[in-house]
Amino acid sequence: MPAPAELELFQWNVMMDAFNRESDRGAAVLVAGFVENYLGSYLRSLVKDPQVAGDLFGAMGPLSSFSQRIAVAYAFGFITKEHYENLTLVRRIRNHFAHHPLDVSFATNEVAQLAKRLSSFQVAKDSHPRDDAEIYRRAYMFASAFFCGYAHAKRQFPDGTKPTAIYESGSIPQEER
């Protein structure tokens, strides 16, 4: 199977169009797939040797899974603790949808309890959702979007400069400001 295409942040809007048309299960898998790929792109951008990157991120490489990428990114200080916790929750929510084939939604107790722990939960709650399920779905999407914005800024500005638009948008966690 060929490797997934490299994603760029501008493709988030294309993915969001699909997200909004999807069932909860489809939306959860779609967003997590985008975030997993984007985290991989961010980490690959830090590797000095493309051959080594191929070995690390290949199908049998030590960084082939979402959980491994999250752990390494946090262990080496490439992401904040808040992002580590959010990405772990995104992965767990995605896995719940993937491994429970019947009757699961963002309103399902197990998924709702995980979504409530996302740092974006209050933002989602304040966004005038129709119901609780929409709060959880939005919290999941917002946490994922905030991470992608953060990773994009880190890739674009590796020297640590803080572009005003991204800095003020909330994509960069409070501890990084």
For residue 177, name the pLDDT band (cuts at 50, 70, 90): very low
Q: Is 112 exposed, middle or buried (0-12, 13-18, 19+ CB in 10 A)?
A: middle
Structural domains of the chain ordered from first start: 10-172 (1.20.120.330)
Alpha carbons 62 and 58: distance in angstroms, whole number:
8
pTM, 2 dp: 0.83
Alpha carbons 73 and 129: distance in angstroms, whole number:
32
Report yes or no: 58 and 119 within 8 Å, Cβ to Cβ: no
What confidence tens digit (pLDDT) does each residue in 125-155 have? 999 888 999 999 999 999 999 998 888 888 8
What confidence tens digit (pLDDT) does each residue in 11-69 have? 777 777 788 889 999 999 999 998 998 899 899 888 898 888 888 988 888 888 999 99
